[in-house]
Amino acid sequence: METIGTVAIVGFPNVGKSTLINRLTGSRAAVVHETPGVTRDRKELVCEWRNRRFLLIDTGGVDIADASPITRSIADQAREAVAQADIVLFVLDAKIGITPGDEEVAQILRESKKPVLVIANKIDDPKQESLALELHKFGLGDPIPISGLHGHGTGDLLDEIVDYLDAHGGQERPELPEQAIRVAILGRPNVGKSSLVNKLLGQERLVVSEIPGTTRDAIDTVLQRGDRTFVLVDTAGLRRKRRHRQGIDYYSELRALEAAERADIALVLIDAAQGVVDQDLAVADIARKADCATLIVLSKWDISEVKIEEVRAQLRRRLRQRPAFIAVSAQSGRGLDRLLDAVAELFDRYISKVPTPELNNALGELRERRQPPSKNGKRLNMLYAAQIHERPPRFRIFVNDQGLVTRDYAYWVENELRERFSLDGVPVSIDFVRRT
């Protein structure tokens, strides 16, 4: 099903945009927290209503009066979202009323010449609908009273959005192809994830800041390169220690984990200038547990004094999937073409199907190379094997008695199959099943 148009949601910080988005999309996709300014980047979500789909572009709260660089960047992101939208939802806190900041946002919308729906949010009791009357002052149309928290009025709002997009022919966007490569970009805070995405896209799509933890939501961005479609997911930086995962950081980490679980490939970013630390290895393990194929990306390579040989030895020794690694610099663009080539190649292996005859030939060679374990005079016999799943690959090996399979022998078989069929960096699952 194609989308019928694009809707941008803008407003002053803490007026309830993320809560409204969660209500409209029926999800918990946006981080909701009482701290103002939680949402900092543009984020696109699909909303479906009356068997029609449209895109919602969430934006950071626009506070033009705040002179801090990150706030100015958020305002620029909001302007860009408005420029891409067919219609804009201007969300206000009806209980607080009009603030100077709201007037500045309204001026941006007037200058954009885009159609606007004024949303009087936080009217949790229908008896409070008169609070919306003050919002006529903007001259942007009749305010629509709603409660994003409780859902009052959101059905009428969705009706109005769909009716407008149907009537005015919003810009349609095709569905992603089945072979789109979903890439989760993981890493501890401030290793350069957003900078990498921006360089790959050639535009400032994500807010980049020196403040750790700037990205708090998982943000999907489509990149078309030749006949390949990549879906890049930039995620909140992962903190390893539980005591560091409080409040917003905790929910942001959940979003990052969810992103890994719906991705095919995980790019695990490591700050090459700092070298590999235990937190990097913990992030890589999260990718493995999410069944992502993994590629280690050494970022900031242009300012690093770490030797490749040192990194290779450490990663090979400590990471079970034996992922490849590639050095890049988001600053200069070095290595980015090779990175996308490597992602595409890894994806092809991730979705590959090993022919059954080749798999059983390999199994026969393994039986010859290393004597299987035995117990109480009974020796393990691997009879035959088949691949039962791909994306990622899963193999079933039929044996005479699965109780004879030791952990060491199972890992050895896994690694041998990974090497035999070029599956380095790919999660390989093996079920040892007793033949009945």
Which of 350, 381, 413 corresponds to the end of one domain?
Answer: 350
Same domain, 120 and 106: yes
Q: Which domain holds residue 410?
A: 356-434
CATH classification at residue 188: 3.40.50.300
* Residue 182, strand partner residues: 231
- Distant-in-sequence, close-in-space partners of 5: CB < 8 Å, separation ≥ 6: 54, 55, 86, 87, 165, 169, 170, 171, 172
Does the pLDDT of residue 248 top 70, yes or no? no
Do 340 and 229 fall within a single domain? yes
Domain boundary among 116, 140, 168: 168
Tokens of 40: 């900092």
Whether 430 is covered by a domain: the verdict is: yes
Q: Last residue of some domain: 284, 315, 350?
A: 350
Same structural domain for residues 395 and 323? no
Give residue-wise pLDDT tens across range 303-345: 666 666 677 677 777 787 788 888 888 888 888 999 999 999 9
The residue among 206 and 133 whose pLDDT is bigger is: 133
Torsion of CA 358, 360, 366, 368, to 10 degrees: -110
Pair 341, 234 in one domain: yes
- Is 137 found in the same domain as 87? yes
Q: What is the pLDDT of residue 131?
A: 79
Both 159 and 199 in one domain: the answer is no
- Pair 360, 303 in one domain: no
pLDDT at residue 102, as a whole number: 81
Q: Where are the beta strands (DSSP E) in 351-400?
A: 374-375, 378-379, 382-389, 394-399
Does 266 have pLDDT greater than 90?
A: yes
| Helix or strand run (H / E) with residue 159 | helix 154-168
Strand order in the sheet with 228-234: 219-225, 228-234, 181-186, 265-271, 293-299, 325-327
Q: Quick: pLDDT tens for 198-228.
A: 888 886 555 545 444 444 454 577 888 889 8
Q: Are residues 189 and 327 in the same domain?
A: yes
Mean pLDDT, all residues of the chain: 81
Are 188 and 112 contained in the same domain? no
Average pLDDT for 141-150: 90
Q: Which of 61, 66, 53, 69 lies closest to 4, judged by CA?
A: 53
**Is the bond leading into 100 cis (omega within 30 degrees of zero)?**
no
Confidence of residue 400 (pLDDT cuts 50, 70, 90): very high
Residue 235 is predicted with a pLDDT of 62
- Residue scoring higher pLDDT (326 or 189): 326
Q: Is residue 193 part of a domain?
A: yes
Neighbouring CB atoms inside 10 A of 72's CB total 13
Distances, alpha carbon 392 to alpha carbons 248, 287, 340, in Å: 32, 13, 19
- When pLDDT is cut at 50, 70 and 90, the band that residue 396 belongs to is very high
Residue 35, in any domain of the structure: yes
Q: Is residue 174 part of a domain?
A: no
Residues 422 and 319 in one domain: no
153 and 188 fall within a common domain: no
Q: In what order do the strands lie in the sheet with 382-389?
A: 382-389, 394-399, 429-434
Is 401 or 60 the better-scoring residue by pLDDT?
401
Q: What's the average model confidence in pLDDT over 44-66?
A: 76
Q: The whole model's pTM is what?
A: 0.62
Per-residue confidence (pLDDT) for residue 287, from 0 to 100: 86
pLDDT tens digits for range 354-395: 999 999 999 999 999 999 999 999 999 999 999 999 989 999
What pLDDT score does 83 carry?
Answer: 83
Domain count, the chain: 3
CATH number, domain containing residue 401: 3.30.300.20
Please indicate, yes or no, whether residues 373 and 328 belong to a single structural domain of this protein.
Answer: no
Which residue do the tokens 């149907």 mark? 166
